[in-house]
Amino acid sequence: MTVGVLGGGQLARMLALAGRPLGRRFLFLEPASNPPVASLGEVVRGSYDDPVCLNRIAAAADVVTFEFEAVPAKAVRRLAAEVPVHPSPAALAAAQDRRAEKRLFQELGIPTARSCPVDGVGDLAAALAATGLPAVVKTRRFGYDGKGQAVVRSPEEAAAAVKALGPRLIAESFVDFERELSVLGAAGLDGSRVFYPLTENHHRDGLLRASYAPAPDVSAGLQAEAEVLAGKIMDRLGYVGVLAVELFQSGGRLLANEMAPRVHNSGHWTIDAAGASQFENHVRAVTGLALAPPAARGPTAMLNVIGEMPDLPVLAAVPGAHVHLYDKTPRPGRKLGHVNVTGPDAEAVMETAASVWRLLPGAGILPPPSKSKPADGASRRTLVSRPVAFAPELGDD
């Protein structure tokens, strides 16, 4: 069976690495030359809406999936008319527009930050009355890795952000969260579902730096609450594949921030520390195989390699450090790989994680898991406070 993947970055690469042992073949549609998937299957080089390329994918693939949300919905609908596409074009469309996504959450009774659409400075007074200040102004489409958004603390800052970010925005209440979590689950073609343990995520400058899984201090009730909300989204969208929902834990409850209808950076730990990885379960789901058990085998830290390459021989010599590099040319702010740190207990994992972190150039301070944070919250994440314009290079989180 051949899986066509829209996108040829690291997520597509890890899908193929997980799917090939299951006898699945892969075909990728990717505009860039020499992508991370170059050695893993045929790469159809062209834009996502090129009809010739889409015809080639439709002719050669038995099923199509995608590795990021920014693929044109029209192209995906066109493919779906000829070949099964999972997750569905409806799931993709919901995740492509923050307003549609918020509406979906609200319809399903999933708590979110208060929000209001903003199409220009004229809408701001009403929007800020709904959200209060501080607020976060975000582009409705194609924001990623914290780009296309700004935290605003006054009506003047809000007006400046609207001018900088352009029309078609959304304003959200600023959530003073205790921590960021994500829930990842997979839905099979046969209706079966599995959910991974909640993951705790730490961002800096809008980029995920580190994840801890299973997230510390998660009650059975909190895990169940996350699974219920992800399950509601799956139900509504007739979902097949891996779904990630990014969450804020605030005042003991969960608010949904956004969803990703695909494998997700916060699930990379599953490669080395779960019964089956998110990549394997996504391939299983979209190709009609039974889902595999997701349980964590022990505590893990997932550390992203961003911008600069570490000294590989030194990194690879650290016991408990599982290195995954994506074959990408280093560039500031670019995700080049990740390291999953495993160990017999959380303390050992943190010790190894600290050693690994020191080997990652420019990594700064390792954000500790929430349990070990100072009570005054001094190590809380910093938010992007100035508007960051949408960058044309597509995101890969």
Tell me how many degrees the CA angle 196-198-199 measures, rounded to the nearest 5.
Answer: 110
* Comparison of 30 and 180: residue with beta carbon closer to ligand AMP: 180
Kindly identify the residues of this chain, within the stretch 94-113, that bind ligand AMP according to CB under 6 A. Answer: 113
Q: Minimum distance between the CB of residue 47 and ligand AMP, rounded to whole angstroms? A: 25
Q: Minimum distance between the CB of residue 395 and ligand AMP, rounded to whole angstroms? A: 9
Q: Which residue sits closest to ligand AMP, CB atoms considered? A: 175
Report residue 163 as tokens.
Answer: 């001018």
The residue within the footprint of ligand AMP, chosen from 130, 309, 383, 394 (CB under 6 A), is: 383
Residues 126-145 as x/- pattern, contact with ligand AMP by CB under 6 A: ----------x------x--
Kindly identify the residues of this chain, within the stretch 184-203, that bind ligand AMP according to CB under 6 A. Answer: 203
Cβ(128)–Cβ(158) below 8 Å: yes
Block residue for tokens 């009650």: 219
The residue within the footprint of ligand AMP, chosen from 4, 9, 188, 206 (CB under 6 A), is: 206
Cβ(66)–Cβ(5) below 8 Å: yes
Q: Is 180 in the site for ligand AMP (CB under 6 A)?
A: yes
The residue within the footprint of ligand AMP, chosen from 169, 175, 215, 263 (CB under 6 A), is: 175
CA distance 153 to 78: 43
The residue within the footprint of ligand AMP, chosen from 10, 65, 139, 257 (CB under 6 A), is: 257
Report residue 364 as tokens.
Answer: 């700064």
Q: Is 36 in the site for ligand AMP (CB under 6 A)?
A: no
Number of chain positions touching ligand AMP (CB under 6 A): 16
Q: Is 172 in the site for ligand AMP (CB under 6 A)?
A: yes
The residue within the footprint of ligand AMP, chosen from 30, 246, 272, 396 (CB under 6 A), is: 246
- Closest residue by Cα to residue 1 from 28, 14, 19: 19
28-43 CB burial, b ≥16 within 10 A, e <16: bbbeeeebbbeebbeb
72-101 CB burial, b ≥16 within 10 A, e <16: eeebbebbbeebbbbbbbbbbbbbbbbbeb
Residue 286: enclosing H or E segment and its boundaries? helix 278-286
Q: Is 174 in the site for ligand AMP (CB under 6 A)?
A: yes
* Comparison of 77 and 99: residue with beta carbon closer to ligand AMP: 99
Largest CA distance in the chain: 58
| Footprint on this chain of ligand AMP (rule: CB under 6 A) | 113, 136, 143, 146, 149, 172, 174-175, 180, 203, 206, 246, 257-258, 381, 383
